[in-house]
Structure 1
């Protein structure tokens, strides 16, 4: 299957950021034909059948990049992951779990929008099992812990189910931050008649840039720049609601505003 220029660019950026087991894991995920076929089909259902935004290979790569960035910022601030605080693994192990969840969280869109996070869990389970056996061939206990964390991240990414680990909390926010206008480009072209979910694509189409960087008061600063005020829907109804349910909320600064106007601080 041919990768788009955007996918190839994201692949290079992801691989450049990693080493050790996270790098090995990323190399497998990014080249796995079964995963890509499932992501592509989920995207077809999302865009062509349902009229929603991108939920395919590009989206899941963006979410993975967001998650890696957040994990690094938390580590730099001295924040331990759940796996570290429970003395069951190190930062790289937690990063592997987060990467698995971020890359597989929307597989369930191939079945439908409703409860897609639940569908994603059983579709992702055998893939997670297969890949972890490759990356951690001699460590059954570590594979079980990482598999459970990844499933928690997947099932919790819509903020409909309570999550408890820091790792799963990262997924919520990393997913919510993928709302720049490029994500709405295809459904804007394909769908002209009003449909349920239109507000998502129109609001996403007004988001010019989402930045994740070191905060001034807290470890992570998220800034959302938009061209029109309809973008506040994405911030307030999608991103802010996910942050509110995330275990990472205490470490987040959130700013949003129309370009050229005043930035509003939410957190």
Structure 2
């Protein structure tokens, strides 16, 4: 569960040994299996070639997945602590402990379709993830056949719904969708930027210094984004806003972005969604 960008910061890294606002035993077991699964790890490496090496786009490999999964689980923990009721596992008659498992598996597998193509990758992710889930879910003794089918369906829904063209029907899916956009810090665009990529996504990501999650005042979650340049507004006001809208979490998450350069050089001082 590593996140190389300052793992001590608030709301950045899920700690399996910490106390959580949800039952975590199933999640922690699943995470151990995922981290040691050679096929999954191979996908996480291979899926970065098309977006980064060939398209000069931001990172979509193992580091991106680690960050999105960490953000997803930290966001979930804060929302549970804020008494937000989740509907994905509950609608299927699954246990509360399965909510975090759905989130973690979807966050892990949401981008594997990049091995096929950057364009329409969420839809290519579905059959690839389905095969992996058939094998993976069978390893856990607490799931019978019916529960494996329901878990698979919920994970696949969260995967496809991370795309802004689709509407999340569960809050579990909404978390993965929002967390995908929360991986916006400058390290994500370092390689394509150094190789000459100058698209707005790459340049704007260079302006984001840090993202942190913490309990909010009046809402369960406050997302704080530290920018060094006004170019970072694109990440916040365009990409993150698009992911938050329609996620089902609009009323539960407050997002504040501030610039940290010399005040005399600031073009944008504060952005709030």
2:154 corresponding residue in structure 1: 149
Number of residue-to-residue matches in the alignment:
258
What do the CA deviations read for 1:102-133 (whole angstroms, capped 9, x no partner)?
00101011111111000011111111121111
1:112 has 2:113 as partner: no
SS in 1 for 2:138: helix
Alignment counterpart, residue 165 of structure 2, candidates 151, 154, 160 = 160
Contact map agreement 2:88 2:99 (CA 8 A) in 1: yes
Question: How much does 1:91 deviate?
Answer: 2.7
RMSD, aligned α-carbons: 2.3
State the secondary structure of the residue aligned to 1:254: strand
* CA distance in 2: counterparts of 1:263 and 1:171, whole angstroms: 26
TM-score, length-normalised on structure 2? 0.87
Aligned to 1:86: 91
CA displacement 1:143-167 (0-9 Å, x = unmatched): 2221111101110112111221111
- The yes-or-no answer on 1:263 pairing with 2:264 is no
Cα gap change, 1:37 to 1:85, in 2 (>3 Å): closer
The question of whether the paired residues in 2 share the 8 Å contact of 1:39 and 1:56 is answered with yes
| Within-5 A mapping of 1:11-26 | 14-17=15-18, 19-26=24-31
Q: Is the 8 A contact 2:161 2:177 kept in 1?
A: yes
Quote how far apart the aligned CAs of 1:223 are. Answer: 1.2
Q: 1:86: Cα distance to partner?
A: 3.1
Gaps of at least 5 residues in structure 1 are none
Other structure's SS at 1:212 match: strand
Per the alignment, residue 266 of structure 2 pairs with none
Q: Which 5+ residue runs of structure 2 have no aligned equivalent? A: 264-268
Q: Distance in 2 between matches of 1:82 and 1:236?
A: 28
Over 3 Å counting, the alpha-carbon distance change for 1:83 and 1:45 in structure 2 is closer
Structure 1's 144 and 136: CA in aligned 2 closer, same or farther, altered over 3 A? farther
Structure 1 pair 204/138, CA: closer, same or farther in 2 (3 Å)? closer
Q: Distance in 2 between matches of 1:13 and 1:67?
A: 9
**1:101 Cα deviation (Å)?**
0.3
Shift of 1:83: 3.7
